[in-house]
């Protein structure tokens, strides 16, 4: 069933990419440069390409963002509005005497201030650092600490619960800007509204280099602290290219990406790609609600919808027949990212939306879509599709510490690798050059994902080569969860893995060994769960806890998560030569 080829339905406009092989053969990244304006005084700036150039070309009155409040209400911001508001925020940073190299963090829900902050930060030449609003205080602290954040834009509640407890451990953090207070609290806790009301509408964007840092996205590791992936202004080449040729954006389109900007999808495709193309971008403040989502698709006349497999699976379970209850005639394309899209979801899309759901693959490190299905190309349900033009992808095996072998045979599992050099490729892990260099072997970026390529050139995701857990589209590092659980007085050892779940992809599960004198009770489970949710947030905290007498460890004492997972799933344990005695 998963190998069956499904043709995309005929609802689409003529696709921007109508002949994949021919376009791929002729494509060069420098061609994209001529589609963008560049700064009038020289250089390249994300915010100018996303906003100001549309105003300069006479499209200032086009609605750029339509924001839908979770309690009702709607705010429309035109490209002219966004230009003025982002100018004001750039002037706010100037008033605060921020430097070009400073990093501006944002911890809010999906509110207009988040998007204005991003654009104003890029105009100023500083670095935008989004945080997922469901993070607890510990992940927030770690990222502010690693990133050396000078400013954080947040709300009263998030400040009180997630920032204030660790501010004394953050010597670089100079200002907190609150979006929901009318006046400054003191000389360091400032009011967004007051600052913006006092700022000028006019701002001259200084020359910004293509390679200047623009975005810092954090991605969890299997060990150690989160890693800050550095992206530059030139990444806009990929945002433009994939917006046009993968997501198939046309002038006048209404577009909706459901991802939160705290994750890379919500920035690259929830802010930049639609704005760079000058179309209308729907922003919904509220989290998943099936009836609300279908209503938005209908009432806003959405043409292109970019969402996640978890959301699609939840829609499948709700049991609503969308075409019987909603007018979705304007919807012509649906895309999915964040984790593999199972074949059943693709077939569900055809049966219940009359559309093929197009899966694609990329990572925080790649900055944009790398492998995808396309509007004009047959889809194999379960496949990630083919590499975008300008990207060379391969399945490889490492043959040594500095050598790889390209697997040329079809359907052989190996590591998915990309040839470096695309414009949105991350330029480093902040303060972690060794880990960055280790991502590249023998002239390839090694993704850490296992995949295979079939005889037709389609790529298929197989699994993670490391321990990262993908839960409901979020990347969870086991080490972060283990570190918090270890703080509990009862916990002697802990190992965390991801367990397959039909709705959220993977469920975070913790295996815990207790200190002597503690009993494995349900009350203790509740206590541990409460600690994790308070410190990490509900999206990261374990959904299940199991007490064990001991955990499999290497001779050096490292918990072997691989063995924990194999035993949980009843799979082959593989090489256990480094396993210490468990007796």
Interatomic CA distance for residues 295 and 368, integer angstroms: 29
d(CA 577, CA 560): 12
Q: How far is CA 400 from CA 403, 404, 405, 416, 448, in A?
A: 5, 7, 9, 16, 16
| 331-377 confidence digits (pLDDT tens) | 999 999 987 888 888 999 999 999 999 999 999 999 999 999 999 99
* pLDDT given for residue 172 in this prediction: 97
Give me the sheet containing 74-78, strands edge to edge: 74-78, 63-68, 280-284, 254-257, 304-307, 333-336, 357-361, 371-372, 386-387
pLDDT in tens, 252-307: 999 999 999 999 999 999 999 999 999 999 999 999 999 999 999 999 999 999 99
Q: Output 285 or 577, whichever has higher pLDDT.
A: 285
The 10s digit of each residue's pLDDT in 384-394 is 999 999 999 99
> From the CB of residue 251, how many other CB atoms can be counted at a distance below 10 Å?
9
Binning pLDDT at 50, 70 and 90, where does residue 421 land? very high
The predicted pLDDT at position 78 comes to 98
Tell me, what's the pLDDT at 2? 42
Average pLDDT over residues 427-453: 95
| Residue 399 pLDDT level (bands cut at 50, 70, 90) | confident
Ranges in the chain annotated CATH 3.40.50.12780: 20-450
Percent residues over pLDDT 90 in the chain: 78
Residue 540 near residue 481, CB atoms below 8 Å: yes
Residues 45 and 211 sit within 8 Å (Cβ to Cβ): no
Instruction: Convert the pLDDT of each residue in 105-114 to its tens digit.
Output: 999 999 999 9
Q: Is 301 exposed, middle or buried (0-12, 13-18, 19+ CB in 10 A)?
A: middle
Mean pLDDT of 549-571: 81
- pLDDT score of 556: 47
Q: How many CB atoms lie within 10 A of CB 34?
A: 8
Q: At 441, give phi and psi (nearest 5°).
A: -135, 125
Question: How many CA atoms lie less than 13 Å away from 542 in the CB half-sphere?
Answer: 27
Q: How far is CA 439 from CA 351, 376, 449, 519, in A?
A: 41, 33, 12, 43
Task: Kindly report, as residue ranges, where domains of CATH 3.30.300.30 are found in the chain.
Answer: 469-569
Q: Spell out the residues 6+ positions from residue 109 whose beta carbon is closer than 8 angstroms to its own.
A: 133, 155, 285
User: Which residues fall within 8 angstroms of residue 393, CB to CB, at 6 or more apart?
Assistant: 370, 371, 387, 416, 417, 418, 419, 459
The C-alpha atoms of residue 574 and residue 563 are separated, in whole angstroms, by: 8
Residue 393: phi and psi, rounded to 5, are: -115, 150
* 3-class SS shares of the chain: helix, strand, coil, % to 5: 30, 25, 45
Predicted confidence at residue 578, as pLDDT, reads: 45
Average pLDDT over residues 112-137: 96
Predicted structure pTM score: 0.87
Give the DSSP H or E segment for 568.
helix 561-569
- Tens digits of residue pLDDT in 199-232: 999 999 999 999 999 999 998 754 568 899 999 9
pLDDT at 1 (0 to 100):
36
Q: For the chain, what is the mean pLDDT? A: 92
If we measure between CA atoms, which residue out of 394, 383, 324 comes closest to residue 352?
324
What is the 8-class DSSP label of residue 520?
-
Other CB atoms within 10 Å distance of the CB of residue 553: 18
Which residue in 48, 35, 103, 421 sits closest to 233, CA to CA?
A: 48
Q: Rounded to whole angstroms, how far apart are CA atoms 472 and 293? A: 17
**136 Cβ neighbours under 8 A, 6+ residues apart:** 162, 533, 534, 535, 536, 537, 540, 541
- Cβ-count burial of 157 within 10 angstroms (0-12 exposed, 13-18 middle, 19+ buried)? exposed
pLDDT at 342: 82
Strand partners, 107: 154
Q: Which residue has the tokens 């047959």?
A: 378
580 close to 555: Cβ distance less than 8 angstroms: yes
Which CATH number is 469-569 given?
Answer: 3.30.300.30
Q: Give residues with Cβ within 8 angstroms of 240, minimum separation 6.
A: 32, 35, 36, 49, 273, 276, 277
Give, as one character, the DSSP assignment of residue 15: P
Tell me what pLDDT residue 338 has. Answer: 84
- Reported as a single tens digit per residue, the pLDDT across 67-103 is 999 999 999 999 999 999 999 999 999 999 999 989 9
- What does DSSP assign to residue 525? H
* β-strands 280-284, 254-257 pairing: parallel
Distance between CA atoms of 211 and 125, rounded to whole angstroms? 11
Write down the pLDDT at residue 244: 98
SS (H, E, C) 449-490: EEEEECCCCCEEEEEECCCCEEECCEEECHHHHHHHHCCCCC
Residues 226 and 142: beta-carbon distance below 8 Å? yes
Q: Give the pLDDT of residue 28.
A: 97
Beta strands at 189-191 and 175-178: parallel, antiparallel or unpaired: parallel
Average the pLDDT over 417-431 and give the result.
98
Mean pLDDT computed over 36-53: 97
The pLDDT, as a whole number, for residue 83 is: 98
CA distance 556 to 341: 38
Report the pLDDT value the prediction gives residue 17, as an integer from 0 to 100: 96
Tokens of 582: 């468990």
The CATH number assigned to the domain with range 20-450 reads 3.40.50.12780
Please compute, for residue 140, the number of CA atoms within 13 A of its CA located in the half-sphere on the CB side.
Answer: 29
Identify the band that residue 148 occupies on the pLDDT scale cut at 50, 70 and 90.
very high
Alpha-carbon span 368 to 237, nearest angstrom: 10
Lowest mean pLDDT among 440-444, 482-486, 517-521, 526-530: 482-486
The pLDDT assigned to 553 comes to 80
């Amino acid at each position: 069933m998963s190998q069956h080829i499904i043709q995309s339905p005929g609802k689409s406009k003529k696709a921007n990419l109508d002949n994949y092989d021919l376009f791929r053969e002729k494509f060069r990244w420098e061609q994209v440069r001529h589609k963008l304006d560049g700064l009038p005084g020289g250089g390249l700036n994300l915010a100018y390409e996303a906003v100001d150039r549309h105003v300069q070309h006479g499209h200032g009155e086009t609605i750029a963002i339509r924001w839908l409040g979770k309690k009702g209400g709607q705010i429309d911001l035109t490209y002219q509005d966004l230009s003025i508001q982002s100018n004001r925020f750039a002037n706010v940073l100037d008033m605060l005497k921020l430097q070009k190299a400073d990093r501006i963090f944002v911890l809010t829900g999906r509110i207009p201030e988040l998007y204005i902050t991003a654009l104003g930060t890029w105009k100023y030449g500083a670095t935008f650092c989004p945080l997922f609003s469901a993070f607890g205080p510990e992940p927030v602290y770690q990222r502010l600490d690693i990133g050396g954040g000078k400013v954080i834009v947040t709300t009263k509640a998030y400040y009180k619960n997630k920032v204030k407890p660790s501010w004394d451990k953050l010597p670089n953090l100079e200002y907190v800007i609150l979006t929901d207070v009318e006046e400054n609290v003191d000389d360091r806790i400032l009011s967004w509204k007051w600052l913006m009301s006092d700022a000028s509408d006019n701002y001259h964007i200084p020359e910004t280099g293509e390679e200047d840092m623009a975005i810092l996205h954090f991605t969890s590791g299997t060990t150690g602290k989160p890693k800050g992936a550095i992206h530059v202004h030139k990444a806009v080449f990929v945002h433009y290219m994939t917006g046009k040729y993968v997501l198939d954006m046309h002038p006048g389109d209404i577009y909706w990406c459901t991802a939160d900007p705290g994750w890379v999808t919500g920035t690259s495709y929830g802010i930049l790609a639609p704005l760079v193309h000058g179309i209308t971008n729907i922003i919904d403040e509220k989290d998943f609600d099936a009836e609300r989502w279908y209503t938005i698709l209908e009432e806003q006349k959405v043409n292109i919808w970019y969402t996640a497999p978890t959301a699609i699976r939840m829609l499948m379970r709700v049991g609503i027949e969308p075409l019987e209850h909603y007018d979705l005639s304007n919807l012509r394309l649906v895309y999915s990212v964040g984790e593999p899209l199972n074949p059943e979801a693709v077939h569900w899309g055809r049966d219940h939306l009359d559309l093929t759901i197009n899966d694609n693959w990329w990572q925080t490190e790649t900055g944009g879509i790398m492998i995808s299905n396309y509007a004009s190309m047959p889809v194999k349900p379960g496949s990630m599709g083919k590499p975008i033009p300008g990207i060379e992808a391969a399945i490889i095996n490492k043959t040594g510490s500095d050598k790889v072998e390209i697997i040329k045979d079809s359907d052989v599992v190996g590591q998915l690798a990309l040839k470096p050099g695309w414009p949105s490729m991350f330029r480093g892990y902040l303060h972690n050059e060794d880990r960055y260099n280790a991502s590249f072997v023998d002239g390839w970026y090694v993704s850490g994902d296992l995949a295979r390529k079939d005889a037709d050139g389609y790529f298929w995701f197989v699994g993670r080569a490391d321990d990262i857990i993908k839960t409901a589209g979020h990347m969870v590092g086991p080490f972060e969860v283990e570190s918090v659980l270890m703080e509990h007085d009862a916990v002697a050892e802990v190992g965390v893995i991801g367990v397959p779940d039909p709705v959220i992809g993977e469920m975070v599960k913790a295996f815990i060994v207790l200190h002597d004198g503690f009993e494995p009770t349900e009350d203790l489970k509740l206590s541990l769960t409460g600690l994790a949710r308070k410190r990490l947030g509900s999206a990261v905290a374990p959904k299940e806890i199991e007490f064990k007498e001991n955990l499999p460890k290497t001779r050096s004492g490292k918990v072997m998560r691989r063995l924990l997972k194999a035993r949980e799933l009843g799979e082959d344990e593989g090489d256990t030569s480094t396993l210490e005695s468990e007796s």
